Each structure stands twice: as C-alpha cells, then as structure tokens.
Amino acid sequence: MTTIIKFTKMHGAGNDYIYVDTTRYPIADPEKKAIEWSKFHTGIGSDGLILIGVSDKADFSMRIFNADGSEAMMCGNGSRCVGKYVYEYGLTDKTEITLDTLSGIKILKLQVEGKTVNTVTVDMGSPQETGEIDWRKKYPFQSTKVSMGNPHLVTFVDDITRINLPEIGPELENHPLFPDRTNVEFAQIVGKDTIRMRVWERGSGITQACGTGACATAVAAFINGLAGRKSDVIMDGGTVTIEWDETSGHILMTGPATKVFDGEIVEEMES
Ligand SMILES: N[C@H](CCC[C@H](N)C(=O)O)C(=O)O
C-alpha cells in the first residue's frame, strides 16, 4: 500500500528546506525522513525538513530537523518561509502571524505584494547566554557564544576567505565545550554595520545562510563594539537585516523567502 506526501521546496537566502503541511500529510518519523529526503543524490536534496502544524498557543507551529535528523529549537530562514507558505497556500489571510517553536512563540510580519510574500520580518525574541571563549594556543582567535534558542559560536576574523570552514567547522561544532554541539559562524566586518558571514551549521554542515546565525553574528558584533544595533549580514546565499531593538531587547530579522517547487513523495506503507 502506498501513500502520497506533498511537499514544497523553499529557501531563505539559499538555506533550503523541504516543507510539509502536517495537517494534511502527517509525518510519523521526521528524524528518519529528514535524513532520507535531505540527501542530494538519493533523496530530494536539502538542508533539512520543516514541518508546519497547528498549535493551541499560536496560529501555527514549526518543527525543524537538520539533514542529520537532529531536531533544532529554531530556524530563522525556515520561519520566514513558513510565513510565506501559510499565506500563499491559503492557510491564513493574516499578514501578522504567530509561530509556535521549541524556542517559544515568534511573531512574523509578512511583506505582501499582490498575493506574493517576498520578505518577512521575524521577532526572534531576546538573545541569551552570551560569553567569550579565548582558545589560547589552540586557535589564533577568540569567539563569542550566543544563543538564539539554538547555540552559536561567532568568530570575527580579518579575512574570511582564509578560513577553511570544511575543516574547522566540524571541529568546533563537536568541541567538548558544547555538549549539544553548536552552529559555527565566521564573520568579517566589511563596512559600517555590514558583516560578511559564512556558516557551518550543526547537523547540516555548510549552508548558504543561517537566520539564527545571522542574528547571533549581529549580536556578537554589537557586544564587541564592531557594529551598531542594526546591521546587514551578507551570507553566501543572500543578505538579511538584523536589528537589536533597544526598547524590547528583541532581535528583528528581515529577509527573503523563496519558493522553488512543489513535489510529491510516494511512500510504501509497511503492511
Ligand atoms: N542547524 C541549526 C538549525 C537551523 C538553523 C538555521 N538554518 C536558521 O536559519 O536559523 C541548529 O541545529 O541549531
């Protein structure tokens, strides 16, 4: 017996996920499916799997699974795409949406042109747990830990092109200092309130962009006196604007959300 699961491939600044509306297509084993469907040669190919669902505390819920099947507390780029999805697929006509995530309720403001959502602003809440790490002789730099609900390690360097991310990314992701592992960002100040950032994501490796990582990078830049409260973070796949609101203490992230294609998976059901 087979069952069909419809999905939509979307990306936020090139950070691409498979999106499934679980109110219509429930997914029993998301960890396993995230691994299987994220594979580029034998699956759909993506940075992971995002499940859109209902919530008794918000308009919708979002669960995010990395390509290695690990579930994360939050996904910035994914939350913008969820906002786009629920509006464009007619699940809501609201342009201000609340989203229930493992790191709390996020508020999404959709910028709509006609019937299309091109950019979204997400209130990401307040950053937590910041702190400096001096690697001493181990590495020639120091880093800043920032949590956006999920863990980030941000390191500023003079020349980001000299960073061997495939080598140092997994080393830092899995460092014993981080019992839950960490996302790893390297950043370079390239202009006033303009930051170039590359990311090795926990559970997915190098991605084109990381929304929570861009927030963490902007927070670390402000804490270290390298940028103001509002900065543009330029990543491999695109740019997001981050503002650390002085009154609320919340981080506002504004960036693109793009649909790539709709597809369907035919699953053999265990009889
Ligand atoms: N790899 C992250 C989850 C995805 C976050 C990222 N894609 C974003 O846009 O925030 C983690 O394990 O915490």
CA of 2 to the centre of ligand 1 (A): 32
Q: 270: helix, coil or strand?
A: coil
**Does the beta carbon of 203 sit less than 6 angstroms from any atom of ligand 1?**
yes
Q: Is 174 annotated as a binding residue?
A: no
CATH of 128-249, one of 3.40.50.300, 3.10.310.10, 3.40.50.11610, 3.40.50.970: 3.10.310.10
Q: What is the mean pLDDT of the chain?
A: 97
Question: Which H/E stretch holds residue 168?
Answer: helix 165-173
Phi then psi for residue 80, to 5 deg, are: -65, -40
152 CA: nearest ligand 1 atom: 13
Q: What percent of the chain has pLDDT over 90?
A: 94
Which CATH architecture does the domain made up of 2-124+256-268 adopt?
Roll (3.10)
Residue 191 has pLDDT above 70, yes or no: yes
Instruction: Locate CATH 3.10.310.10 in the chain.
Output: 2-124+256-268, 128-249
pTM score over 0.90: yes
Q: Please tell me the distance from the alpha carbon of residue 232 to that of residue 239, in angstroms, as a whole number.
A: 7
Residue 98 has pLDDT above 90, yes or no: yes
With cut-offs at 50, 70 and 90, classify the pLDDT of residue 271.
low
Task: Convert the pLDDT of each residue in 107-133 to its tens digit.
Answer: 999 999 999 999 999 999 999 978 999
Q: 17: helix, coil or strand?
A: strand
**Does the beta carbon of 119 sit less than 6 angstroms from any atom of ligand 1?**
no
Q: Please tell me the distance from the alpha carbon of residue 75 to that of residue 122, in angstroms, as a whole number.
A: 11
Looking at the annotation, which residues are catalytic? 75, 210
Q: Is 15 annotated as a binding residue?
A: yes
Say what angle helices 211-223 and 76-88 make with each other, to 10 degrees: 130
Q: Is 164 annotated as a binding residue?
A: no
**Does the beta carbon of 201 sit less than 6 angstroms from any atom of ligand 1?**
yes
**Does the beta carbon of 150 sit less than 6 angstroms from any atom of ligand 1?**
yes
Residue 6 has pLDDT above 80, yes or no: yes
Task: Convert the pLDDT of each residue in 28-56 to its tens digit.
Answer: 999 999 999 999 999 999 999 999 999 99
